[in-house]
Amino acid sequence: MKRVRVAVIFGGKSREHDVSVLSAKAVLSHIDKNVAEAAAVMISRDGGIYIQRETAGICRQYVPAELCTDGHGIEIRPTDGGETFRPDCVFSVLHGEYGEDGRLQGMLDMAGVPYVGCGCTSSAVCMDKIYTKIIAEHCGIPTVPWLSFDRETAKDGQAEKEISEKLGFPVFIKPACGGSSFGASSVTRPEELCGAIANALSEPGRVLAERFIPARELECAVLSSDGEIIVSPPGEIIHSSGFYDYEAKYSRQDSRTEVPADISDEIKTKVYNYSKILFRALSCRQLARIDFFLDKRTSELYFNEVNTLPGFTDRSLYPRLIEETGTDFEGLLTSLIRGALNDRDI
Ligand SMILES: Nc1ncnc2c1ncn2[C@@H]1O[C@H](COP(=O)(O)OP(=O)(O)O)[C@@H](O)[C@H]1O
Ligand SMILES: [Mg+2]
């Protein structure tokens, strides 16, 4: 197969900008140069577009650029008169709003350029934890008991009353369309609810209230390639915070992952089956990381969320879990890039 040109888009306007920069660094350094010529395309926090053509890293000079389309592909044109880059496909590692929620995918569909990963609708549905839970329940997959509130009703006292009456305490409050644990908090007393809801409203989308589950956190990587869906063994997140918050995810040294997770065959099989069912039911394409809670008290397994653009750093669980299935980081990226060019009809 000929060497393809890939635009690795990262950064972005969401609060997960910094995480995306780390993912892009890892992706750019692991792309097999025999397979692809990569250009780094950075979206700044205010939405500006910058390109860097070096493939050896992403820390050199970036040049402001325009993103243009004739409907049969895209071009990234440096505004300093430098060479235009016309990618054969896009590999977006934009996490969160605008990048992971279907908006970029819809734009790329309109522009007529293939891209790695889930399509527009699937990305949008998976970004919204309320829609995802409804689909999981429709498939008979257990999810944590929950209530949802739109942005208006979340603010009136009714939401607090309903949460207290129907879910009780402790309860977990989070934004339906957040990521990296932004806007999420656990609440043990009714008087903390108002602040927790306001915190969730700092992120996009509706507000989700869930019964608090003292849980082991299991994550599973799904990779579909050539029509075959590969599901990794589950890995476990081990942290010593009250919950897996932003610091525990990205900076605390005492958080770690165990791959594969030390769990019973029965739970492994459930995670495997639920992941495959959800990947199909949510029309995911190529990749997703599917997360579960295993209740420490009851051993009940609950589906938590689907990430259509999971972390891609060297430490991230998605590439590590795929490695367990026999494909290393380079091989994973090659499979995704080739798949993006071949699997448009999946
Ligand atoms: N119902 C819950 N009970 C206990 N902890 C929860 C619950 N929901 C989320 N958490 C904690 O918050 C973290 C972030 O929530 P999650 O739903 O995964 O959103 P995000 O998209 O921000 O990762 C989880 O990894 C877990 O530690
Ligand atoms: Mg999560």
Same-domain pairing of 169 and 235: no
What gap in Å lies between CA 156 and CA 37, rounded to an integer?
Answer: 53
pLDDT band of residue 253 (cuts 50, 70, 90) is confident
What's the mean pLDDT in 252-263?
92
Which of 211, 232, 251 is the last residue before a domain boundary?
Answer: 211
pLDDT band of residue 55 (cuts 50, 70, 90) is very low
Same-domain pairing of 163 and 86: no
* Ligand that comes closest to the CA of residue 200: 1
- Look up the CATH number of the domain holding residue 235: 3.30.470.20
Alpha helices in 61-201 (DSSP H): 103-111, 120-127, 129-138, 157-166, 193-200
* Ligand that comes closest to the CA of residue 181: 1
pLDDT band of residue 346 (cuts 50, 70, 90) is very low
Same-domain pairing of 224 and 263: yes
Which of 211, 232, 247 is the last residue before a domain boundary?
Answer: 211
To test the pocket of ligand 1, the residue of 129, 143, 244, 309 to mutate (highest count of ligand atoms within 8 Å of its CB) is 244
The number of domains in the chain is 3
Show the domain range for 8. Answer: 4-115
Same-domain pairing of 135 and 244: yes
Q: Which residues have C-beta atoms less than 6 Å from ligand 1?
A: 144, 172, 174, 178-181, 184, 210, 212-213, 215, 217, 243-244, 291, 304-305
Which residue minimizes the CA distance to atom 22 of ligand 1? 181
- Look up the CATH number of the domain holding residue 205: 3.30.1490.20
290: helix, coil or strand?
strand
* Ligand that comes closest to the CA of residue 174: 1
Contact criterion met (CB below 8 Å) for 308 and 123: yes
What gap in Å lies between CA 222 and CA 230, rounded to an integer?
Answer: 6
What gap in Å lies between CA 344 and CA 297, rounded to an integer?
Answer: 44
Beta-carbon contacts of 144 under 8 Å, excluding residues fewer than 6 positions away, are 172, 210, 211, 213, 293, 302, 304
Q: Is the pLDDT of residue 134 over 90?
A: yes
Same-domain pairing of 256 and 133: yes
Same-domain pairing of 266 and 128: yes
Same-domain pairing of 100 and 243: no
152 CA to middle of ligand 2, Å? 25
11 CA to middle of ligand 2, Å? 19
Q: Is the pLDDT of residue 57 over 90?
A: no
**For 332-343, what is each residue's pLDDT tens digit?**
999 999 999 985
Same-domain pairing of 57 and 167: no
State the pTM of this model. 0.95
